[in-house]
Amino acid sequence: MNKSLLKLTFTFVALLFGLNTFAQDDFQGKAYYMSKTTMDMDQWGGREMSPDQKKRIEERMKSFLEKEYILTFNKSESIYKEDEKLEAPGSGRGWGGFASSFTGGPKYKNVKDQELLQDQEFFGKQFLIKDALKPLEWKMGTETKQIGQYTCFKATATKVVDEFDWRSMRRRQPPPKKKDSSETGDSAKADSDDPMNEIEVPKTIEVVAWYTPQIPINQGPDDYWGLPGLILEVNADRTTILCTKIVMNPEEKEDIDKPKKGDEVTQAEYNDIVTKKMTEMREMYSGRGRRN
C-alpha cells in the first residue's frame, strides 16, 4: 500500500470512529486557541527608534497582537469568543480599545444554516453583523502532522481579505517620483498629510489549515470552517492561530446562543459605515492640517 493510500485509509477509519463517538444529540466540545500576529516595526518607523523604545512599544502592543480564544461547538453550531484576561495597568489597554473597533466580539457560525453572526462595536455604537458563511475553496493535501494527541491533515486556500482586516494591514510603498508631476500645491500636501494613504491591505492571502478527522465537525476558529474535521491550526499571512487544548463533552455544557444586540447589518453595509466614518475623520484631519 503506497503512502498516500495509507493516509486516506487512516482518514476514513478515523472519520468512522469519530462519527460513532460524536453521534449523541447533546454532543459539545471546547477548543482553546492562541492567536498571534507579527508586525514589522521597521515598516512603521522602527528604524528611527532605539532598541529600548522599540521594546517598550512591542510590550504595549502584545495584548493587541496576542490573544486567547475559546471555540465552543456542537455538530452544527459554534461560537468563538476571546478569553479575556485581567490586564495589568499600562499593559496596552489603549491599543486594545482601538483594536476593538476592528476585531469584533463573539462570532457565531451555523454550518447547517450557513449563517454568520458577530457582535461589533464601532466608535461607541453596537452593530450585529449578519451574513451568510463564506466558503473557502480548500485544496486537500495528504501531508500530516501531530498537534497534541490529534493527527492533522493539511489543506490550503486563497482567501479574499476584508478591507478593514488590521491583521494584514501594511505600510504602502511610496510610488516613484515623476519628473513631470501634475500634482502640486495643496492637493499634494493633503495627500501626504493623510495617514490612511500610508496603509494598504492585500486583496488576497494564502491560508494553510491543519484539521483533524478525529473530531468530524467542519468548524474552526475565527472565519475558518468547511473541512472534514475540526481545524486546529491556521497560518494566514502574518497571523497564526493554534489550538492548545480540547475538552470533549465538558461536565458543564454552555449554551451556544446567537448574538442579538446591536443594529443589524450585513458585512458590506458595515464596511460602508466604517468607510464613511474614516472619510469623515480624514477630512477633519486634513482640515486641521490646512488651518495650521
User: What would the mean pLDDT of 271-275 be, rounded to a whole number?
Assistant: 86
Q: What pLDDT was estimated at residue 96?
A: 46
Q: What pLDDT was estimated at residue 95?
A: 45
User: What would the mean pLDDT of 141-154 be, rounded to a whole number?
Assistant: 96
Query: For 164-200, how does the pLDDT look when each residue is reduced to its tens digit (9 = 90+)?
Result: 776 666 666 655 555 555 555 554 444 444 455 667 7
Domain ranges of the chain: 3-291
Q: What pLDDT was estimated at residue 99?
A: 52
Q: What pLDDT was estimated at residue 143?
A: 96
Q: Residue 84: name the closest of 110, 109, 103, 108 by CA.
A: 103
Band of pLDDT at residue 93, cut at 50, 70 and 90: very low
Q: What pLDDT was estimated at residue 128?
A: 95
Whole-model pTM: value is 0.76
